Amino acid sequence: MKPFENITVLEFSTMITASFAAMMMADQGARVIKVEPMDMGDPMRYIGATKGGISALFANCNRGKQSIKVDLKQAAGQQLILDLIPQVDVVIHNFRPGVMDSLGLGSASLRGINPRLVYLAVSGFGTTGPLAKAPAYDPIIQAHVGMTASQGGEGHTFIRNLMCDKITAYTAMQAVTGALLVRANTGEGQHVDLAMIDAGLFFIYPDSFMNDTLLDPDIAAQPLLSDLIYELTETQDGAITMSAATDRQRAGVLKALGKESMMSDPRFNSMESLLQNIDAYRESLADAFKQLPTDVILARLIENEVPAARCLSRAEVLNQGQLESNGTLVERDHPLMGSMRLVRSPAKFNGESLPVAGHAPAHGQDTDQVLADFGLSSDALEALKAAGAVA
C-alpha cells in the first residue's frame, strides 16, 4: 500500500511550490486533482522545452495528476468546488493571502463543510507583516533568506535553481503528512499556513547561520562550512571537489600531490592552525592540482582514502552507474510528449521504490471524468459547460 492511498487532494496553484508538493503526494498514492483556470491553465505549462502542448518543467512537477478547468470567478465554479469538498481530504494552494477567501474558498468555509479537511495555504512571506502582499519568486526569497550571501566569498551569488520553491514544496509535503497524522489520531482536520521565507530560512539556517546562533559575547566566530568545503579544485583538464575533514584525509591529499613536507609546516599541522591559514594552504596546492589530469588526481586521492569526485556535466550526471544501480531514472512514453526521462520519488518503502505516478495531464483533460466520479450528473455537467464555468 502506498502511503497516500485513499487520499484525495485538490490543488489550486501556479508554478512550483504547491504543484511539486502535490506531485509528491501523487507519487505516494494520492489522487491529485489540479484545478486550473479556463484560459491558459498553469503558466508553467509553457516554460521551457515543450511537446504536445506540455512543457518538460510542467511534467516534472505535475505527473500523476488529473486536470480540470474551472472558472473560479463564476459563482457556479465556486459552488462546484464547494460541492466537491465533502469528498476531499487535502486542499493545497499557493495564491496570495486573501485570494481564496475572496472566492469563497477560504479555509474556514471549506473546513466548515468538511471538518476533516487538511487545508494548506502556501504564501511568499506569510499572512501578516510588511511583505504579506508582496509577490514572491524564488530569487526574491533567496535574497531574503541569505542564500545569495551564503555561497562563499564576499559578494552575493544565486543558487541557480528553484531552491526555495522546492524547499517549500518538501516542507508542504511534510506538513500535510503531519496534519493527516493528527487527523488519524483525532478525527479533526487542520489549517496549515506555510511561508516560503520561513521554509527557506529554516533550510539554510543550521550551517549558514551557525555564527549567528550563539548570542553570548564570549563566542568566537569560526569559518563557515561554505568557505571550507565548497571549493572547486581546478585540474589540468577539469575540476574536482574533495572533502578532507580529518588529519588522515588531509595527509592523504598531500601524499597524493607529493607535498608530504607540508604536514610538518606549523601553519598547517593542526586543524586550528590550518583554519587560520586556509587561503595560504590552498594557494600552496593549487599549482600542483593544475599539473595533473583529473583522472590521475582522482585515482591518487581515492587510493589515499580522500573523499573526492569529478564535477560532472549534466550528461555525465544522467549516465553515472550509481543512478543506474539505484534505479533512480526511468524512461517511458507520454501520449502527448513522446519519450521522456523521469526521476523516481527518492524514498523507498520496505526496500522498494514507488512506481512513478501517471502522466502529466493536458489542460482540462479530466474535467468530465473527475466530475462524474464525484457524482455530478451529465445534465448538470452540460449546464456548467454551457455557462462557461467548466471545460
Domain of 290: which CATH number?
A: 3.30.1540.10
What is the pTM (predicted TM-score) of this model? Answer: 0.92
- Predicted local confidence at residue 220, as pLDDT: 85
Q: What CATH number is attached to the domain comprising 27?
A: 3.40.50.10540
In a domain, 75, yes or no: yes
Q: Domain check: are 101 and 37 in the same one? A: yes
| Integer Cα distance of 112 and 252 in angstroms | 65
- Predicted local confidence at residue 19, as pLDDT: 98
In a domain, 142, yes or no: yes
Q: Would you write out the chain's pLDDT as a tens digit for each of its 391 residues?
A: 899 999 999 999 999 999 999 999 999 999 999 999 999 999 999 999 999 999 999 999 999 999 999 999 999 999 999 999 999 999 999 999 999 999 999 999 999 999 999 999 999 999 999 999 999 999 999 999 999 999 877 789 999 999 999 999 999 999 999 999 999 999 999 999 999 999 999 999 999 999 999 999 998 888 787 777 787 899 999 999 998 888 888 889 999 999 988 888 888 887 778 878 888 888 888 999 999 999 999 999 999 999 999 999 999 999 999 999 999 999 999 999 999 999 999 999 999 899 999 999 999 999 999 999 999 999 999 999 999 999 9
Q: Among 253, 278, 310, which residue terminates a domain?
A: 310
Q: Domain check: are 133 and 33 in the same one? A: yes
Q: Domain check: are 195 and 237 in the same one? A: no
Q: Domain check: are 306 and 332 in the same one? A: no
Q: Among 310, 335, 361, which residue terminates a domain?
A: 310
Q: Domain check: are 282 and 151 in the same one? A: no
| Integer Cα distance of 136 and 122 in angstroms | 11
* Residue 378: C-alpha distances to residues 36, 56, 165, 375 (Å): 21, 34, 39, 9
In a domain, 282, yes or no: yes
Q: Domain check: are 77 and 172 in the same one? A: yes
In a domain, 37, yes or no: yes
What does residue 245 show for φ and ψ, rounded to 5 degrees?
A: -95, -15
Q: Domain check: are 298 and 356 in the same one? A: no
Classify residue 216 as exposed, middle or buried by CB count within 10 Å of its CB (0-12, 13-18, 19+): exposed
Q: Among 310, 337, 363, which residue terminates a domain?
A: 310
- Do residues 68 and 366 make contact, with C-beta atoms less than 8 angstroms apart? yes
- Predicted local confidence at residue 245, as pLDDT: 80
Domain count, the chain: 2
In a domain, 30, yes or no: yes
Q: Domain check: are 60 and 187 in the same one? A: yes
Q: Domain check: are 29 and 144 in the same one? A: yes
Strands 239-242 and 233-234, sheet pairing: antiparallel
| Integer Cα distance of 247 and 109 in angstroms | 61
Q: Domain check: are 201 and 277 in the same one? A: no
Q: Domain check: are 100 and 249 in the same one? A: no
Q: Domain check: are 266 and 291 in the same one? A: yes
In a domain, 355, yes or no: yes
Range of the domain at 285: 233-310
In a domain, 225, yes or no: no
In a domain, 210, yes or no: no
